[in-house]
Amino acid sequence: MVSFSYNLPNAGTQPKHILSSSDISYGRLCQILDLAQAMKRQRLENPQPIAQVENRMLAMLFEKQSLRTRITFETAMHELGGHAIYLTKSDIDMGQRESVYDVAKNLSQWSAMIVARLNSHATLCQLAEHASVPVINALTDMEHPCQALADVLTITEKFGDDALKVAWIGDGNNVANSFAVMASKLGHNVVICTPPGYEAASYVYSEPNVEHCYDPKAAAEDADVVYTDVWVSMGQESEEQERIERFAKYQVNDAVMALTKPNAIFLHCLPAKRGFEVVDSVIDGPKSLVFEQANNRLYAQKALMHLLLENRIA
């Protein structure tokens, strides 16, 4: 069995929840990234389960569809030596068939941790309020901190600790919120570029080194990283035509990427709507790290869960 140990103070008896990027301090973020990179090296060289969390159960409460989030959490928990149970809206129908309070109390008795992918961030906060085990946000309408962990892990692997210009071009959505906050913690200069009316959440702009613009060319100029996401997220299908029209000038194409630095990278959290927010020649091009970015979900989440389960995140 492989052991990853840290001489850290005990975080206390109250569970530590990760509901947003703001819940992870700079020091803890560095700790997660360091452990994620160590776990990645270990998995590639000599994969073994990690004995400390053996036989613990992870409850995965998902109201939305998922490919990367589901398989990376399930794989990570398996490789940590535990087990995952996947629960959909049709299994529980939380808030309708059974109250959020009752679900939190029940799952806390049987599982060591809850990963929740929910429609409403308010519901997530209510779940965490009543849970006596750690709750991790696996996506809500407000934030997606686990995606942001994988994003900054990918950037750190490419550029080290250098402070960068990072351009988010497109919708100021949940991923933009989490990514901007987390990238700012690492000292990167983040430019969020959206059409008017689609800015990121107001609290994001109170972070140091985060600014907004409406010109995608200005955002991309001399950028080290360009990041985009779909223009129409789950639950926004009724706005599709309007959004396509409003975002047409915010496509990440070859002309946009030509404005970036020579060694710049392109990121996308996936799934992508090719031909809309990004063209094939960019997402499949030499600057694209989207599949390594997706791969890094496994290691970022494995490190986060391990530290939470070992009560090492204060």
Considering 28, 56, 144, 243, which one is annotated as catalytic?
Answer: 144
Distant-in-sequence, close-in-space partners of 265: CB < 8 Å, separation ≥ 6: 154, 155, 158, 224, 225, 226, 287, 288, 289
Considering 229, 293, 301, 306, which one is annotated as catalytic?
Answer: 229
Q: In what order do the strands lie in the sheet with 113-117?
A: 83-88, 57-62, 113-117, 135-137
Is residue 68 part of the annotated active site? The answer reads no
- What is the rounded distance in angstroms from the CA atom of residue 43 to the CA atom of residue 271? 25
Considering 147, 251, 293, 301, which one is annotated as catalytic?
Answer: 147
Considering 188, 243, 268, 297, which one is annotated as catalytic?
Answer: 297
Contact 22, 177 (CB under 8 A): no
Distant-in-sequence, close-in-space partners of 310: CB < 8 Å, separation ≥ 6: 52, 53
Is residue 213 part of the annotated active site? The answer reads no
Is residue 121 part of the annotated active site? The answer reads no
Distant-in-sequence, close-in-space partners of 205: CB < 8 Å, separation ≥ 6: 211, 212
φ/ψ (deg, to 5) at 288: -80, 130
Considering 56, 117, 243, 306, which one is annotated as catalytic?
Answer: 117
Is residue 34 part of the annotated active site? The answer reads no
- What is the rounded distance in angstroms from the CA atom of residue 49 to the CA atom of residue 127? 30
Is residue 269 part of the annotated active site? The answer reads yes
Is residue 48 part of the annotated active site? The answer reads no
Contact 183, 151 (CB under 8 A): yes
Considering 126, 269, 293, 306, which one is annotated as catalytic?
Answer: 269
| Cβ burial 212-221 (10 Å sphere, 16+ → b, else e) | beeebeebbe
| Active site members | 117, 144, 147, 229, 269, 297
